């Protein structure tokens, strides 16, 4: 180390030659406020006026806060909520007048002398650098870190082990999802209900071309009490709160009725999964999990608005465009007691890919 620093310091230029002669600063011209006492007084009053305007705005903010109604009879101002407009405008103007006042003060009245500072090399002087390096070497020599590997190694080990408490602490941020991503609340015989209203669906209620946003029974909040009692008698579990949202984020489906002749059946979308042209697909895009229901009736193409993945719902949810790598999972349907129900859960995990998922 000590071999190098001498040669480095020799490369530093002692001083920089000016390629063009320095013309120096132009002659300083005073501002009107520097030479005219009247102008100076006027500028002073202007600055004070801006600060006073700011105070008025702050008071107006308080007045608007208490006088403008935001409850039943909302005050409006050109079609906008008057309270929000007044609060925003007064607070914004109060801050802006302080800013304008300060700038006006600085430009008209504060010191107006041009200041310059010549550039100089950023490095320390060669003497300082030499002395620092010498001290560092002496310190290393005195600590004996090179001669005492036991101390060095245990110290490095101690610092490394500090990572363990961190990792153990992170573990409690949440449990691993385990198999939860592979299943939804759909099960054999789960009734399909309309989203929002929660009513069960008969095949005859759907016409060709119909699209219905649907949920498994129990995942809708707008229920009539007698329906809930009847459902619970059949063993339906009605979820609420966080559980409802978690279950809904995986279980949401769209239900479509098409001409049966338009449907293409395959191994992954067999004929016995549909009922009279009615098919159900997961509403969760297989790309990154946006909920999708932008369907085009005539082409049966379902478009995800996030990244334009497009699925052909007449052909087992096949990807026809976009970044999605897998078809939309289809929910096998059948009719039970006149209502549409699921034959089983989805046969594959819904939503986007994840590490542990097999790639089929």
Contact set with other proteins (CB under 8 A):
25, 27-32, 34-36, 74, 76, 79-82, 84-85, 103, 107, 111-116, 194-197, 202, 204-213, 222, 256, 292-299, 301, 303, 305, 308, 310, 321
Q: Which residues contact 64 (CB under 8 A, 6 or more apart)?
A: 83, 86, 87, 90
Instruction: Pick the closer one to other proteins by CB: 107 or 180.
Output: 107
- Closest approach of Cβ 129 to other proteins, in Å? 33
Q: How many residues does the chain have?
A: 360
Name which of 62 and 196 has its Cβ closer to other proteins.
Answer: 196
- 3-state SS assignment for residue 10: helix
Instruction: Determine phi and psi for 37, rounding to 5 degrees.
Output: -65, -35
CB closer to other proteins, 303 vs 342: 303
Q: How many CB atoms lie within 10 A of CB 345?
A: 21
Q: Which of 145, 222 has the CB closer to other proteins? A: 222
Smallest separation, CB 116 to other proteins (Å): 7
Distances (CA, A) of 66 to 61, 78, 192, 241, 251: 9, 20, 50, 35, 47
Closer to other proteins by Cβ: residue 175 or 204: 204
**How many angstroms separate the CA atoms of 31 and 301, rounded?**
71
Shortest Å, Cβ 182 to other proteins: 26
Smallest gap from Cβ 197 to other proteins, in A, equals 7
Q: What are the backbone angles phi and psi of residue 220, rounded to the nearest 5°?
A: -125, 140
Q: How far is the CB of 269 from other proteins (least distance, A)?
A: 20
Q: How many CB atoms lie within 10 A of CB 125?
A: 11
Nearest distance in Å: CB 304, other proteins: 10
Of 270, 246, 276, nearest to 330 by C-alpha is 270
Structure tokens at 308: 């334009």
Q: Closer to other proteins at the Cβ: 35 or 155?
A: 35
Q: Alpha carbon 11 to chain centroid distance?
A: 51
Query: Nearer Cβ to other proteins, position 181 or 208?
Result: 208
> Smallest distance, Å, CB 333 to other proteins?
16
Q: Which of 51, 65, 346, 59 is nearest to 181 (CA)?
A: 346
Under a CB-based contact definition with an 8 Å cutoff, are residues 274 and 342 in contact?
A: no
Nearer to other proteins, 114 or 358 (CB): 114
CA–CA gap between residue 263 and residue 278 (Å, rounded): 10
Which strand (E) or helix (H) includes residue 99? helix 82-108
* Least spacing, CB of residue 76 vs other proteins, in Å: 4
Non-local CB neighbours of 260 within 8 Å, separated by 6+ positions: 274, 276, 277
Report how far residue 128's alpha carbon sits from residue 12's, in angstroms, rounded to the nearest whole number: 14
Q: How far is the CB of 274 from other proteins (least distance, A)?
A: 17
Residue whose CB is less far from other proteins, 181 or 290 = 290
């Amino acid at each position: 180390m000590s071999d190098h620093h001498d040669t480095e310091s020799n490369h530093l230029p002692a001083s920089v030659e000016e390629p063009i002669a320095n013309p120096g600063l132009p002659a300083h011209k005073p501002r009107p406020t520097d030479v005219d006492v009247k102008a100076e007084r006027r500028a002073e009053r202007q600055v004070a006026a801006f600060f006073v305007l700011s105070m008025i705005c702050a008071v107006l903010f308080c007045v608007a806060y208490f006088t403008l109604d935001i409850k039943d009879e909302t005050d409006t101002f050109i079609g906008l909520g008057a309270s929000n407009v007044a609060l925003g405008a007064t607070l914004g103007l109060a801050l802006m007048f302080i800013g304008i006042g300060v700038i006006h003060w600085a430009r008209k009245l504060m010191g107006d002398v041009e200041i310059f500072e010549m550039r100089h090399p950023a490095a320390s002087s060669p003497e300082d650098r030499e002395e620092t390096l010498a001290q560092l070497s002496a310190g290393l020599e005195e600590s004996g870190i090179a001669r005492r590997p036991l101390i060095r190694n245990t110290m490095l080990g101690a610092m490394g082990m500090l990572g363990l408490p961190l990792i153990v602490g992170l573990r409690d941020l949440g449990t691993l999802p385990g198999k939860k991503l592979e299943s939804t609340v759909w099960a054999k015989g789960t009734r399909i209900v309309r989203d929002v209203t929660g009513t069960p669906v008969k095949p005859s209620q759907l016409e060709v071309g119909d699209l219905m946003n649907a949920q498994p029974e129990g995942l809708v909040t707008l229920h009539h009490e007698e329906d809930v009692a009847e459902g619970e008698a059949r063993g339906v579990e009605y979820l609420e709160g966080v559980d409802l949202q978690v279950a809904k984020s995986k279980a949401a489906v769209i239900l479509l009725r098409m001409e049966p002749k338009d449907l293409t059946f395959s191994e992954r979308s067999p004929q016995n999964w549909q009922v009279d042209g009615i098919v159900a697909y997961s509403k969760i895009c297989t790309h990154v999990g946006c909920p999708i229901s932008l369907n085009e009736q005539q082409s049966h193409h379902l478009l995800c608005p996030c990244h334009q993945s497009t699925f052909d719902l007449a052909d087992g949810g096949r990807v026809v465009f976009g970044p999605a790598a897998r078809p939309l999972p289809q929910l096998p349907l059948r009719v039970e007691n006149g209502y549409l129900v699921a034959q089983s859960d989805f046969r594959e995990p819904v939503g986007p890919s994840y590490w542990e998922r097999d790639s089929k």
